Amino acid sequence: MRLSRSFLPTFKENPAEAQIVSHRLMLRSGLIRQTASGIYAWLPAGLRILRNISQIVREEQDSVGAQEVLMPTLQSADLWKRSGRYDAYGPEMLRIQDRHKRDLLYGPTNEEMITDIFGQIINSYKELPQTLYHIQWKFRDEVRPRFGVMRGREFLMKDAYSFDLNYEAAVASYQRMMLAYLRTFQRLGVRAVPMRADTGPIGGELSHEFLILAPTGESGVFYDAALEGQDWLDTPVDVTDPAALETFYKRVTTPYAATDEMHDTTAWEAVPEERRREGRGVEVGHIFHFGNKYTKAMDVSVVGADGERLYPEMGSYGIGVSRLVGAIIEASHDDNGIIWPDAVAPFKAVIINLKAGDETCDAVCEGIYNKNTEDFLYDDTSDRAGTKFANADLMGHPWQIIVGPRSAKEGRVELKRRATGERHDLTVDEALSLVLAGA
Amino acid sequence: MRLSRSFLPTFKENPAEAQIVSHRLMLRSGLIRQTASGIYAWLPAGLRILRNISQIVREEQDSVGAQEVLMPTLQSADLWKRSGRYDAYGPEMLRIQDRHKRDLLYGPTNEEMITDIFGQIINSYKELPQTLYHIQWKFRDEVRPRFGVMRGREFLMKDAYSFDLNYEAAVASYQRMMLAYLRTFQRLGVRAVPMRADTGPIGGELSHEFLILAPTGESGVFYDAALEGQDWLDTPVDVTDPAALETFYKRVTTPYAATDEMHDTTAWEAVPEERRREGRGVEVGHIFHFGNKYTKAMDVSVVGADGERLYPEMGSYGIGVSRLVGAIIEASHDDNGIIWPDAVAPFKAVIINLKAGDETCDAVCEGIYNKNTEDFLYDDTSDRAGTKFANADLMGHPWQIIVGPRSAKEGRVELKRRATGERHDLTVDEALSLVLAGA
């Protein structure tokens, strides 16, 4: 994209309404605009990030056998009356009446709807397991929306739902999803630690939150350093083998990890002191097993091997896709702006033309840009060099390809890595091969 | 995807509630499920189609310089009060109150919001032209939703908005978008004819509807056969050159084409009789120039070259993405089911294993499937051959790769083209190269 013709505004001033760094940087780097309290429009760069995150989430869901569907944003209140949650859900549910005075609501989550759809289609135990997910906008009518997309009202969420014949199979589905989550966050370039979460009235141990470590996080976190630096992408796990899943799951859940809500000082003190890590975290995912709560309440069953009716065991699995944009910034920024992980960045690189209008500079820049119009941003504006550098740092492109008149004559550019600040004087080809290698 | 493990239900019976063929076939081939009146969930095959269409729409919008954003589904009523449309819009607007009794609405269209965002960011004539689009769910509270996704309430639309400095530039934007639309529909594998549409109180000639020809269409259409068989993908048009755009535009708009609403019998009789084509059509797109109606009403201006305030000229450009799924089926089906154009099909091909469990059949099928797990559906079920054939025809995969025990031993398969019914006895490699060539 050519910056001079694009809808990629940046702002020098910190917006008064933004209290946390990710909100400030998202507004200043032109990712979002607020259109109503807690409701945002995504500008071109922001949408690219949202789509990059969604695509990684999608691929990792698919890779553990989950199937993508797309449920609507509006739901019939009748569905929620069947589960008993319509009256129980508080004022965060946005209730709506249509022109015929029928009660609708803007879905805050989809357990009821997916259970109903599942029940209309799946009849036999032979068709289990099934895990379905969608990536769709949700609405929660927060009393005080704040922190930008971190606590907005209309937000993008991936929610998955598993249906299994019995508890053991449901545990395997839960474990598969944990693996998918660890791989997803690793690919997104952030460290997200799974922490045991409160299961509420249902009980059991099958509930984990995933927290990205960031100093501004809303929860205190305590974890064993054994959880650091694990490579889940390179850990082969046969997701069709319950024993392999169990081994993997033990490895993840044995070391201590808890938020302050669930903190257990006795267990904590059993962790060798040099391995104790304390900090703060932002919740970006939550996985939860809840048995046959919804299938029973909504009377959705399948026929078992002996003709009996069975209520499938369910789990639900959420990732806050729009929230992740803010959370990643909280974890990855400096005083000059955002530092996008490569996989998430709206553009792989920005080409900075230090002398737009200079024949050689233009030719070198155009040459690089024309081969990479999709993935590169080309700063072809007549702004001063200082402005261009500041904008590039603010927007957080992983690489800056800096083209000045002197070096351009020799077919050379300066390549700057945003994360480290390292700069290298390279030929165009050397620079491109580094950038396109991804890191 | 393996059919045995997938959420791809098919139904033999025609659903009683469906009055038109696309609605029947979408329900029977498991693309959608109704979750409330006029509101649908998209199952895996349906979502794939929706995404294929969206991607083609996106690429053609991008190729004429439009930039993608994503506006939220819910809008503040204040925005619509600024334009004066809040009270004017009828009961099709879904009006909502949040917990603080603030008026919101579910966006039926986005002129107000995009004008407001544009006004916050663009200040100078130098930053024009700008064309922004998004692909987002909209809601219109139809009094009697029917015909499935053809007249649903929650629907997916691509809507683009152009901002230009003056009328001449706005005409060029309009013409660019017409080119993008013709290319989009051609890539989708359907013939969509642009027809002059009523511009209402604003007047002028710059409004066209795009109709897909289908016997069940809601409008009568009359057009000159000169509009048939034009290849817009192979017509190079320099979209930065107004003269080239004008030449292209004349070529499209000179031959007669009108819906019954706008039909002009005198002009029609001037078309040579052998070139007159009459039929019915389904509207799938609409482009519209409306000048500075919204920028004036909402007081959104830019600074001109001499420091004066100018109200940009706008156009809006819609494509009914979810409606297109139904419209394409209306135009492309037979008694056995859907006939998907290659570019839209949820799967490029289905592999039909005529004897699941037979070692040779399984090996040949797995060999083909493992190379194409993303794009091929593998019918690995134990259903009878007749059921598999019927399902494949119903779902409308462009190709069927039929693997039977006898031919499999010789490494051969039968390849059936859904659109023509032609069958060929081929080696696996020959079959795959035909399928992967795309047509």
Checking if the pLDDT of A205 tops 80, the result is no
CA distance A402 to A415: 6
Give the mutation candidate from B5, B55, B67 for the A interface (greatest A CB count, under 10 A).
B67
B68 — contact with chain A (CB < 8 Å)? yes
Domain assignment of residue A394, yes or no: yes
Specify whether B296 is located in the same domain as B389.
no
B225: distance to nearest CA of chain A, Å?
Answer: 38
B79 — contact with chain A (CB < 8 Å)? yes
Specify whether A361 is located in the same domain as A317.
no
Report, as an integer, the average pLDDT of B162-180: 97
Specify whether A366 is located in the same domain as A318.
no
CB B79 within 8 A of CB A99: no
Specify whether A72 is located in the same domain as A137.
yes
Report, as an integer, the average pLDDT of B350-378: 96
ipTM over 0.85: yes
Specify whether A155 is located in the same domain as A78.
yes
Specify whether B321 is located in the same domain as B352.
no
Domain termination residue (choose one: A337, A361, A394): A337
Q: What is the pLDDT of residues A335-366, one digit of tens each?
A: 999 999 999 999 999 999 999 999 999 999 99
Chain A residues touching residue B44 (CB < 8 angstroms): 67-69
What pLDDT shows up at residue B305? 94
Domain assignment of residue A342, yes or no: no
Domain assignment of residue B146, yes or no: yes
B43 — contact with chain A (CB < 8 Å)? yes
Q: What is the tally of structural domains in chain A?
A: 2
What pLDDT shows up at residue A339? 98
CATH code of the domain containing A46: 3.30.930.10
A101 — contact with chain B (CB < 8 Å)? no
B100-B101-B105 Cα angle (round to 5):
115
Instruction: Give the model's confidence band at B202: pLDDT under 50 very low, under 70 low, under 90 confident, else very high.
Output: low
Specify whether A372 is located in the same domain as A418.
yes
A243: distance to nearest CA of chain B, Å?
Answer: 21
A72 — contact with chain B (CB < 8 Å)? yes
Specify whether B285 is located in the same domain as B390.
no
What pLDDT shows up at residue A199? 75
A67 — contact with chain B (CB < 8 Å)? yes
CA distance B148 to B21: 10
Report, as an integer, the average pLDDT of A308-336: 97
CB A149 within 8 A of CB A326: yes
Tally of residues, chain A: 439
Domain assignment of residue A4, yes or no: no
B145: distance to nearest CA of chain A, Å?
Answer: 12
Specify whether B333 is located in the same domain as B375.
no
String of DSSP letters for B348-362: SEEEEETTTT-HHHH
Domain termination residue (choose one: A318, A337, A356): A337
Domain assignment of residue B254, yes or no: yes
Chain B residues touching residue A98 (CB < 8 angstroms): 94, 141, 153
Residue A236 CB neighbours (<10 A): 8
Across the interface, which of B41, B104, B130 has its CB nearest the CB of A71? B41
Q: What is the pLDDT of residues B204-248, one digit of tens each?
A: 679 999 999 988 888 999 999 999 888 999 889 999 999 999 999
Residue B170 φ/ψ, nearest 5 degrees:
-65, -35
Nearest to B301 by CA among B288, B293, B310, B291: B310
Specify whether B207 is located in the same domain as B355.
no
Give the mutation candidate from A67, A239, A377 for the B interface (greatest B CB count, under 10 A).
A67
Chain A residues touching residue B76 (CB < 8 angstroms): 35-36, 39
Domain assignment of residue A318, yes or no: yes
The number of C-beta contacts closer than 8 angstroms across A and B is 140
Burial class (CB in 10 A: 0-12, 13-18, 19+), B306: exposed
Q: What is the pLDDT of residues A387-424, one digit of tens each?
A: 999 999 999 999 999 999 999 999 999 999 999 999 99
**Cα distances (Å, whole numbers) of residue B31 to A300, A376, B327, B394, B403:** 21, 37, 14, 11, 26
Which residue segment(s) compose the domain that A354 sits in?
Answer: 347-437
Is there a contact between A72 and B5 if contact means CB atoms under 8 Å apart? Answer: no
* Chain B stretch 121-150, residues whose beta carbon is closer than 8 A to a beta carbon of chain A: 121, 130, 132, 137, 139, 141, 143
Domain assignment of residue A7, yes or no: no
CATH code of the domain containing B417: 3.40.50.800
What pLDDT shows up at residue A198? 81
**Cα distances (Å, whole numbers) of residue B163 to A257, B73, B154, B174, B180:** 53, 22, 27, 10, 17
Specify whether A174 is located in the same domain as A142.
yes
A409: distance to nearest CA of chain B, Å?
Answer: 30
Q: Which residue type is seen at A278? A: E
Beta strands in A58-108 (DSSP E): 67-68, 74-76, 94-97, 103-106
B397: distance to nearest CA of chain A, Å?
Answer: 19
Specify whether B267 is located in the same domain as B224.
yes
Domain assignment of residue B255, yes or no: yes
Helices (H), B272-422: 293-297, 321-331, 359-371, 385-395, 405-409
Domain termination residue (choose one: A292, A319, A337): A337
Chain A residues touching residue B325 (CB < 8 angstroms): none
